[in-house]
Amino acid sequence: MPDAVPPPTVRVVVLSKPHPLTSHLLSRLAERHALAGVIYEDRFRSLGDRLRYLRRNARREGWWHTAWVLAYEVFDRLTRPSALGDAVVRVLPPARPLPNDVPVRTVRSLNSAEARALITDWAPDLLVVHATGILNRATFELARVAALNIHCGVLPEYRGHASTFHALAHGDLGNLGVTVHHVAPTVDTGAAVAVARVPFGRDDDDVTIWCRAFAAGTDVVLRQVDRLSRGEPVDAVPYEGQFGPHYRRRALPEHLRFTWFALPRLRRSAGQHGER
């Protein structure tokens, strides 16, 4: 009979969506016996949900840009159906199944009464957030110690969507990485816990860099779990530089410019410098 899993000394609840990167995070937390529960957000349960989401984005970004974003998403699914899976296999260790005693729930909104009741019942020291909608204070302040977001992008320069992609598209190889920061009402402005940068190699692309950044962010979260288990506070570091713009979601024209022109140039440069 297998040994009983010890109860978590630091209780972590993850707020996210089903995704290979989320599986990596959950697996690493479960290894530390720190995972108290998982809440997935499923905002798109009907065609109406998706249409409302598109209208909201169109009001923020314009219908023209929103149409190009949809075109990119279709293009990506047709031309790179296995890109993420291949990158995950290359970059990340295999994720282990979650222990049977870790509860997993799915809600329409993480700001709902249902989600808040679950978080309250599970009493987390840390909430760890990735790829969700914007959280209200009433949700993220339920953490006893802190609510931390894994933002795949270097703050303060790269806020918003597809931050590692936008850094690559700008040729800004010194700002590829991840920021783990406290959740705040304004997106990607909470105090930083750590900023970790990752190198770009001659075999890398936007997807592998995204995975490398997330892996580095997971390591940051685990260091905070270890600190709390020793009775130490969560780290805090000052941001360097000024907050940059809030980048919009990737559109097809900018993706094609990156793939056809920027990416080959970056790979040639990395090869000349002998990187991976």
Q: In terms of residue numbers, what domain contains 135?
A: 12-272
Residue 3 included in any domain:
no
Distance of CA 17 to the CA centre of its chain: 10
Is residue 273 predicted with pLDDT exceeding 80? no
Whole-number Å distance between alpha carbons of 266 and 276: 13
Across the chain, mean pLDDT equals 94
Question: pLDDT tens across 6-55, in order?
Answer: 666 899 999 999 999 999 999 999 999 999 999 999 998 888 989 998 99
Whole-number Å distance between alpha carbons of 236 and 217: 15
Residue 4 included in any domain:
no
Is residue 185 predicted with pLDDT exceeding 70? yes
- Which residues 6+ apart lie within 8 Å of 62 measured at CB? none
Higher-confidence residue of 175 and 49: namely: 175
Average pLDDT over residues 187-210: 96
Pair 126, 12: CB distance under 8 Å: yes
Average pLDDT over residues 109-136: 97
Q: How is residue 105 written in tokens? A: 């729930």
Is residue 113 predicted with pLDDT exceeding 80? yes
Average pLDDT over residues 77-100: 95
Question: pLDDT tens across 203-212, in order?
Answer: 999 999 999 9
Question: pLDDT tens across 42-74, in order?
Answer: 998 888 989 998 999 999 999 999 999 999 999
3-state secondary structure the chain: CCCCCCCCCCCEEEEECCCHHHHHHHHHHHHCCCEEEEEEECCCCCHHHHHHHHHHHHHHHCHHHHHHHHHHHHHHHHHCCCHHHHHHHHHCCCCCCCCCCCCEEEECCCCCHHHHHHHHHHCCCEEEECCCCCCCHHHHCCCCCEEEEEECCCCCCCEECCHHHHHHHCCCHHHCEEEEEECCCCCCCCCEEEEEECCCCCCCCHHHHHHHHHHHHHHHHHHHHHHHHCCCCCCCECCCCCCCCEECCCCHHHHHHHHHHHHHHHHHHHHHCCCC
Question: pLDDT tens across 215-266, in order?
Answer: 999 999 999 999 999 999 999 999 988 888 999 999 999 999 999 999 999 9
**pLDDT for res 1:** 40
**pLDDT for res 33:** 94
Question: pLDDT tens across 126-143, in order?
Answer: 999 999 999 999 999 999
Residue 135 included in any domain:
yes
Residue 61 included in any domain:
yes
User: Within 13 Å, how many C-alpha atoms sit on residue 112's CB side?
Assistant: 15
**pLDDT for res 186:** 86
Q: How is residue 79 written in tokens? A: 């031309």
CATH number for 220: 3.40.50.12230
Number of domains forming the structure of the chain: 1
Is residue 2 predicted with pLDDT exceeding 50? no
Residue 5 included in any domain:
no
Higher-confidence residue of 273 and 149: namely: 149
- Stated pTM of the model: 0.94
Whole-number Å distance between alpha carbons of 110 and 130: 12
